[in-house]
A = this chain, B = another copy of it.
């Protein structure tokens, strides 16, 4: 069995910890059972290893996520990189072609494509072993979760008669019904759609006419932006669903996540006369919650959230009304940068202060800025700086100036922290994008 973990995800539902540049599946906020913290990606990888030791895992991710996946899973899974973010149908099509062309999977192989971040008991992953058998009587196999409540954020599967094993025939789908409708559906046996799709590899390959991995990769930017649900599942008459009755959540909202964090305070925080209040603080300065009730308080360089737990599912709408701004922090496998400060200058320009962290042995190249200078000061560690081909070794307390037009790169000799002060003309959007790609 090949398991394709789809690593997409918008960053807005867990603001300010997640962002488009730092999707929730990579946040290390879940207890790992050994006193440390792990990400959703790491947890799911571990559960698959335990429940399905023979399954091979392929992660379908955006190209920008390569570094952090490498850093969190240390090369123990295959990764297929999408050159840009589209939707689940193109991602699954590309992954199928990759399975055949790069991983030599046979056409009869069972493929299970699923989100990278379900928060579930191990039983959920054990239930995936039933996909194989269910494929004997359906072309597509889904996982259906026994609903815990008539929540309107889910898609519902309406099952029909019993098939082989525990699987049921799928009659139809209802997308995000209102609560009253959901209640009625549940009464007649409907299940939440977990976003899991099981099929034979040949079925997945046929969906894109058997195109090669190379070809799909090349044409990726012109593939239709459409979900696998919509493009395939809703049009396929021959579908089975495996019901699963156990703990399952997508941890997509703060109230769901807070309950799984294993503690009320993460980071520098203090609860005083507070009840049912969660603090998650990624800033250095302290958070005090005084006399509060049923709140989640989360702080990162991107912002601060104070939300009533029950109302936290509405966060996405609230964040949507915020002015878009460049993310304050980006993580890559080899390091991260954090915006420390922005200074408005008299002429309307803006200076930017960033901290770059780079792990020993890793390097980064930057494109030349056309209209901005920068001074880099090494705050800790040692690194080799190359400017227009010339290399200098600089250690803590040393600094180097990069003038506009110079290509530059850093190779970290030890773990290194660098403070960068960028000055010059105002960053326009194109600059900002370049600047982020440069990282």
Contacts and interface: CB of A to CB of B under 8 A. Distances in A.
A311 to B, nearest CB: 3
A312 B288 CA distance: 11
Interface in A283-306: 283-293, 295, 297, 299, 301-306
Protomer copies: 2
A341 B328 CA distance: 14
A322 interface: yes
Given A396-B423, A419-B419, 7 more contacts: A281-B304, A286-B304, A288-B306, A290-B308, A290-B312, A297-B304, A419-B421
B381 A397 contact: no
A273 interface: yes
Contacts of A286: 303-304, 322
A424 B378 CA distance: 11
B417 A351 contact: yes
A373 B355 contact: no
Contacts of A104: none
Q: Top 3 closest A-B pairs, CB basis?
A: A291-B311, A291-B308, A351-B379
B310 A306 contact: no
A38 to B, nearest CB: 23
Contacts of A207: none
A interface, how many residues as a size bin? 35 or more
A321 interface: yes
A307 interface: yes
A402 to B, nearest CB: 10
Contact of A305 (B290, B378, B398): B290
Contacts of A322: 270, 286, 288
Nearest to A290: B307
A286 B298 CA distance: 12
A380 interface: yes
Interface string A162-192: 0000000000000000000000000000000
A379 to B, nearest CB: 4
A273 B305 CA distance: 13
Interface stretch (A63-71, A93-101, A140-148, A342-350): A342-350
A380 B314 contact: no
Contacts of A424: 397
Contacts of A423: 378-380, 396-397
A380 B345 contact: yes
A317 interface: yes
A340 interface: yes
A18 interface: no
Contacts of A381: 345-346
A206 B354 CA distance: 59
Contacts of A77: none
A46 B414 CA distance: 58
Contacts of A15: 288
Contacts of A319: 288
Contacts of A307: 288-292
A318 B290 contact: yes
Given A290-B308, A321-B270, A375 B399 contact: yes
